[in-house]
Amino acid sequence: MKFSLSRSPSFLLLAFVLLVLARPVLAQDSSLLHSPPTEAKAGEALVLDGVLSGSQRITRVVLRYRGSGEPYTEVPMELEYGDLYRGSIPASSMAAPGVEYYMEGFTAGGERVPLFKSATRPARVNIAGEASARTPAVVQAPEPPPPPSRPSRSSRSGRGERHKPEPVAEPTPAPAPPPARVAEPPRRSSDDDMAALTAELPPGDDVPAPRASPSTRRPLEPAAPVASDRSQMEEDLALYSAEDTLALATRQEQSVKKVPAIAASFGREQIRSLGARTVADVLDVVPGVTISRDVQGSYRTAIRGLRNDAEVLFLLNGHRLNSFFDGKALMNLPVENLERIEVIRGPGSSLYGAGAFLGVVNLVTQRTEGVTSAISAGGFPKEGGGLSPTLDGHLSGAYKLERLEFFGDADVWYQQGDSMAVREDALDTETVDLGLRDPLDPAGYTKDDRFLVNVGVGGRLNLSSDRHLTASARLMSENRSALLGLFDTVGPDSRLKWLVLLGDLTYEQDVSEGVHVRARLYGDRQSTDRLFQISPRDFATGSDPATQLFAQGLLEQTLVTVSTLGASLDSDLTLFEGNRLTLGAVAELQSIDDYSYQTNYTADSRLRDRLTAPEGLTNILELAGGAAARRLTFGVFAQDQWTVVEPLTLTLGVRVDATQLPSVDSNNVITGTQLVPSVNPRVGLVFSATDSLVLKLLYGRAFRPPTMQELLEKIPNTYYNQGRYEGNPTLQPAVVNTLEAGVDLIRTSGESRVRLRANAFFESFSSPIAAVDTTGNIVPVRNRDLGVNVYGVEGEARLEASRRATAWVNASLFRAEDLELPTTQRYLTDTPQARFNAGLSMPIGDLVNFDLVVRTGAERRNNTRSILELIRRYNIPAYSTITAQVRSEPIADHFELALVIQNAFDSDQRDDVPRPDRVPGLLPREGVSAFLTLRAHN
C-alpha cells in the first residue's frame, strides 16, 4: 500500500484528532492516612482507622501485625464509609512488651501496594503489663525516643506528591516485666524475607522506629528486632532491583515478583553512592551496558556488545529524547535533579514502538514537595599545573495547594574538560609537510568544553479524586566542542549546538471501578547546528595561496531541525481479580522542518568565500515532493497480565505498527512513501518458586526503521570527507528476536540482606542496519542480509550489612557473530567480550561515608568488522578505572557534602575509532578529575 503525504495535507491534522496511545502517565501512588498510637492496654483489641488517598485503584486493604518474636499475621480492613478503612488487632495478641503492624493494599490485578509503613519498618505500639502465656518472653528494656530525622525527599514515582511524616511521640517506658525464661526466637519465614524487600514506605515516612540500646539489654536477652532507617529507595531498591522499574517494564507499578523484564533501577541514594555526576556515569555500571565516546564527542550507549544511537530508546519522564533525523539523544544530563534512572536490557517495541530495540532508558526527574539544590566545582589537572574548571548548579522544587501542584527543576553545567594528546590523525602527514607542527609533536589534543542548560516546569490539576490533568514543558540547550573532530582529524575549533523543546499534556480518569483511561498530547522540536573544523587553521590543499590556503581550516556545517507531534489514548481494564488488560493506540507525525549542509571548500578542495551548499547536494526536503522528509506512524497494542495462581504470572502482549517509509523504483530513486507494517509480540512468564526465589522466562520481538539520515542524506565525495557513510533509500527495518531467562534470589537476616541475580540471553538480529567501511571512501549504509547473533550471561550480587555498609558486584560475558562473514571470521571480536564492576560503601564514624567503585573490562563498540579489520585483527580497548568518594551524613539536617575523585589512578583508557589505521592510538578518554559538591534541602 502506498501513501503520499504530499498529496494529502489533511493528514497533518490527524495527530490532533485521533484518540490514540503514547506512554501512559503513572498513576498517583496510594497511601493510608493514619496516626499510630504510641501505647495500648494489654488484653484489649486495638482498633485502627485510616483514610485511603491516591488515584491507584485499591480493591482490598489488609492489616499485618505481629507480637514480639512472632511472624506477621494478616487480617482484612473493612471499608466503613467513603475512604475510611477500619481493622483491629485481636485482644489475644495485645501483650507486653508491644505489637508491630503495617498496612497494605491490593489492586484488582492482585498487585501488592504499600499503604502505611512496611515489614522492615513497622509502626510500634508499647503495651504495659505482663506478657501473655502464649508470647515468647523476649524481654527488653524501655526504648529511648527516636533521634530527630528529616522527612524523606523520595518522590512518588516522579509525581511530585509527598505526605508529611506521621507524628511520632516518645514511647512511654514499660515497667520491667518479671524474670522469665528466654525463648528461642522463631525462625523467620521466607514470606517475611520477600515482604521485607518488596514492601515500600509511603513517601515522606522517614522516621526510624525506636531501638533498644545495646547497653541496657539484660543478660541472656536476644537482641531486639532492629528497625531499618533506610530511605525509601534504599529500603525497597537494591542497586539493581527492578521494584521501581515497573512502569518502564509494564506501564504499571508492580513488585519484583511479577515484572516481566531484565531491568535495573537507580534511586538517588544509589546514584550518589556511585559518585556519579552524569547519566553516562550511572549507565556505565549496568551489566551488559557500555558507555563510550566517538570522535565527535557524542556519548554512545552499547547494550550487550552492539552500539547504535537509533536502537537505544532514551526517555525523559516518558518523553522520547532520540532525534528523528539521526537517532541521537541529548541524554548525558546531570543526575542531581533526577529521582531515578530506569534501564531495560532487551527489546521494548511491544510497549514503546520503533527505537526500543536494544534497550530502553528512562530518566525521571525529581518532583518532591519542597526545594533541593546543589552546587559542584572541580575539574581536571592541566599539564604544567592548574585546573581545567568545571562548575555546575542544580535546583528543583515542588509546591502543592489543595488541588494544584507545581514542580520544576533546572541544571546549569559549564566545563572546560580534559585535554589529552592525539598522537596521529588522518592528516598527520599533511600537517607535518606543511610545517604546521614538528614530526615529534602530537597531531593535536582533545577538546571537551561544554555549556548545558536544562530547565523543566509543570503542574498537575486534580479536577476530582478520579480526574487529573498534568502539563509539563522542558528546554535543553547544549553548546560544546567536538572531542576530536570529524573524519578522524583533530579540529579544535569545531562548535556543536543542540536545542531541544519538549511539551506534554495528559488527562487521566477512572471511568469506573475497573476502567482507567489516559489521554495524552505531546510534541517536541530539536535543532542541531554542527560546525566541524576538519583541518587545522592555515591548512593548504595546494600551492595557490589565493584559493587553496584555508586560514580558518576546512569547515563543514550541518543544520537540522526536526519536530514531532503525537496523540495517544490507552486504558487499563480489570477483567477479574488477578488480571489486568491494557489497550491503547498512538498516532505520531515526525518531520524534518529544515536541513542544510554547507562547506567552505569546493569539490576540488578550493576555498569558497563563505559556507555554501556544495555542487550536486541532494535536497532532502524536496525528495518525493517533500513527503520523504515526513514520517507518519500508527500503532495499536494490547497487553494482558494474569496471575494464574499466586506464584505464576503470565504476560502476553502484542503491538502492531504501520510506519511510513520511502518507496523506490527500479533505479533506487525515491518516488513516494508507503506504510510498512510490523508486529511485535511479547511473552513473559514469572514464577515465584518461593517468596525469596523468582524465575523468569521472557521472549520479545522488536523492530526499528531506518533513520532519515540513514535513508536520505547524500554527501558529495571529496578528498577531505572520506570515511563517511551516506543514505540508502532501499534500507529495510531491522528486526530482533530475544529470548531471556533469569533468576532472582533474595535473603534477609535481621538488618542485613543479600540479593543475587543472574540471566542468560540470546538475540537474533535480522537485516541489521550497519555501516561497513568497504573502501575507505564514502559508502552507503546497508542491511546485513544474514544477520547478527549475540548471546551471553550477566550476573549481579549485592550485600547490605546495614544502611551505610554495602557491597556489590556485577559481571557480563557475551559473544557477537556477524553471520555474513566467513565462518572463521564471524566473531566481532577474537576474544569474548567481558565486563566487571564492583562497589563498596562503608561508614567512617557517625558522619562520614566512603564509597569505592571499580570498572574494568573490554567490549566491542562497533557492530561489524570492516574490510581493514579482516586483514588486521581487531584489538579490544581494555580499561580499568576507580572512582573514590567521601560524603557526609546530613549536616544540621539540611546539608550534605561530597568529594569525588574519578579515574583516581589516571588509567589510560581508550575508545575505538572508525579507522584505527588513521588514528592508531585510538581515542583517549578522560584522566583523573576531582569535584566537591554541596547539597541543600529544606
- pLDDT score at 175: 45
Q: Give the model confidence (pLDDT) of 76-107 as tens digits.
A: 999 887 788 999 999 888 888 889 999 998 88
- pLDDT score at 874: 60
Confidence band of 876 (pLDDT split at 50, 70, 90): confident
pLDDT above 90 coverage of the chain, percent: 51
**pTM score over 0.85:** no
- pLDDT score at 187: 36
Which amino acid, residue 805? A
In this predicted structure, the answer to whether residue 414 has a pLDDT above a threshold of 50 is yes
In this predicted structure, the answer to whether residue 811 has a pLDDT above a threshold of 50 is yes
- pLDDT score at 537: 95
User: Please, are residues 706 and 731 in contact by the beta-carbon 8 Å criterion?
Assistant: yes
Confidence band of 513 (pLDDT split at 50, 70, 90): confident
Confidence band of 369 (pLDDT split at 50, 70, 90): confident
**CA–centroid distance for 760 within its chain:** 21
pLDDT higher at 57 or 360: 360
- pLDDT score at 458: 97
Out of 6-10, 400-404, 738-742, least confident range: 6-10
Q: Give the model confidence (pLDDT) of 26-63 as tens digits.
A: 344 688 889 889 889 888 899 999 988 876 778 889 99
CB atoms within 10 A of CB 884: 18
Quick one: which of 79, 81, 75, 70 has its CA closest to 46? 75
Q: Give the model confidence (pLDDT) of 877-909 as tens digits.
A: 788 999 999 999 999 989 999 999 999 999 888
User: Please, are residues 344 and 245 in contact by the beta-carbon 8 Å criterion?
Assistant: yes
In this predicted structure, the answer to whether residue 528 has a pLDDT above a threshold of 50 is yes
Q: Would you list the DSSP string of 454-477?
A: EEEEEEEEEEETTEEEEEEEEEEE
Q: What is the CA radius of gyration of the chain?
A: 30
Query: For residue 268, what is the DSSP state?
Result: H
Residue with cell string 547494550: 303
In this predicted structure, the answer to whether residue 25 has a pLDDT above a threshold of 70 is no
Q: Give the model confidence (pLDDT) of 402-412 as tens digits.
A: 899 999 999 99
283 three-class SS: helix
User: Please, are residues 242 and 249 in contact by the beta-carbon 8 Å criterion?
Assistant: yes
Q: Give the model confidence (pLDDT) of 442-493 as tens digits.
A: 999 999 999 999 999 999 999 988 899 999 999 999 999 999 998 889 999 9
- Counting runs of H as helices and runs of E as strands, what totals does the chain give? 11, 52
Burial tier of 444 (Cβ tally within 10 Å: 0-12, 13-18, 19+): buried
pLDDT higher at 98 or 722: 98
- pLDDT score at 264: 86
CA distance 749 to 573: 39
